[in-house]
Structure 1
Amino acid sequence: MDRRKGIVTLAGNPMTLLGPELKPGDPAPAFTVVDADLKPVGLGDLGGGVRLLSAVPSLDTPVCELQTKRFHQEAAALPPEVTIATISMDLPFAQKRFCATHGIDRIRVLSDYKDASFGLAYGVLIEEVRLLARSIFVIGPDDVVRYVEIVPEVGTHPDYDRALAAVRSLAG
């Protein structure tokens, strides 16, 4: 198991990421998370088009909430072959409540609580707190990673514009 230090901080404290360092051009790793009904969901279940995977530590925090809402809002303007998924360690029940409260229905919200399969496969599981590091992965229709952003300070926003530009370049 790869252990990478110094990639992210949480409230200024250095954290350890578990899993490989993915780069554009790498094959997208398989993973299994669960949806609000506790059904397993893998990469292939997110469609065969462009997929934007938005990892957040917890939907119950302001930046994670805003990140999820932003991608939900952007989804309306993207081609139908684009799938956006927010993945966190939150329990599926809490995710379902969050989506109902905020009217989130254009993106998938998925939980990695069970096995940390996504976090370990994509190298964003924070060892010290067992949460996902804030990160964005864009996967092409060929199941190849095309864009990666791991946000250095977990409490700050990702570069939404760059991630969306990567999606549009693949979907257009």
Structure 2
Amino acid sequence: MANVTFKGTPMTLAGQEVKVGDTAPDFHVLDNNLNEKKLSDYKGQVRLISVVPSVDTGVCAEQTQRFNDAAEKLDNVKVLTVSMDLPFAQRRWVAANNIEHVDIFSDHKDASFGEAYGVLMQELRLLARSVFIVDSNDKVTYTEYVSEGTNHPDYEQALSAVKEAK
């Protein structure tokens, strides 16, 4: 299992760690209008899944904005952000921050994503910061479980990997 801390405190991650080469687990989350969405809704596309504890915090906001800016230049790639924020808060945040190229989803209802990808921090019921790339054949081609929840992911590495995924 990935070793993750949040503000220096070790976290227990629920679920199974996803590894490169695995078939990406499907999951169900809510969009900002309370509609259920699944990974399989994006079948046939490369997907960059950006996971944040809460979009309404500094590092998470920057992570989401950076991937939003990058998404505009990516062909046949869908960028998804998942957090435990309520859909209503996500909708307000998206509008206030001009997010146009990322689909933002809430895992708050039942933590389906968090458990499927091994990123649910049990102590906080938040998702551990991470990035996953899933190719058009549903294979995981890149994973990053950020070791400290208040740190940024490796944006350049993730964007390089998503450009290589088919």
Q: In the alignment, which residue of structure 2 is the partner of 1:65? A: 61
Extract unaligned runs of 5+ from structure 1.
none
TM-score normalized by the length of structure 1: 0.94
Paired residues for 1:9-88 under 5 Å: 9-79=5-75, 81-88=76-83
Q: What is the root-mean-square deviation of aligned Cα atoms in Å?
A: 1.0
Residue 152 of structure 1 aligns to a residue whose secondary structure is coil
* Offset of residue 49 of structure 1: 1.1
Paired residues for 1:1-172 under 5 Å: 4=1, 7-79=3-75, 81-171=76-166
Q: For residue 145 of structure 1, what is the amino acid of its counterpart?
A: V
Q: Distance in 2 between matches of 1:46 and 1:142?
A: 11
Q: Distance in 1 between matches of 2:55 and 2:141?
A: 25
Runs of 4+ in 1 over 3 A off after TM superposition: none
Residue 33 of structure 1 aligns to a residue whose secondary structure is strand
Q: Distance in 1 between matches of 2:43 and 2:101?
A: 14
Q: For residue 90 of structure 1, what is the amino acid of its counterpart?
A: D
Q: Distance in 1 between matches of 2:72 and 2:93?
A: 19
Residue 165 of structure 2 aligns to a residue whose secondary structure is helix
Q: Distance in 2 between matches of 1:27 and 1:89?
A: 24
Once the two structures are overlaid, the 10-residue window that deviates more, 154-163 or 44-53, is 44-53
Extract unaligned runs of 5+ from structure 2.
none
Q: How many residues align?
A: 166
TM-score normalized by the length of structure 2: 0.98
Q: For residue 66 of structure 1, what is the amino acid of its counterpart?
A: E
Q: Distance in 1 between matches of 2:50 and 2:35?
A: 19
State, as a whole percentage, how many aligned pairs show the same letter. Answer: 52
Q: Distance in 2 between matches of 1:45 and 1:105?
A: 19
Q: Distance in 1 between matches of 2:161 and 2:83?
A: 22
Q: Distance in 1 between matches of 2:21 and 2:145?
A: 16
Whether the aligned pair in 2 keeps the contact of 1:47 and 1:83 (CA below 8 Å) is: no
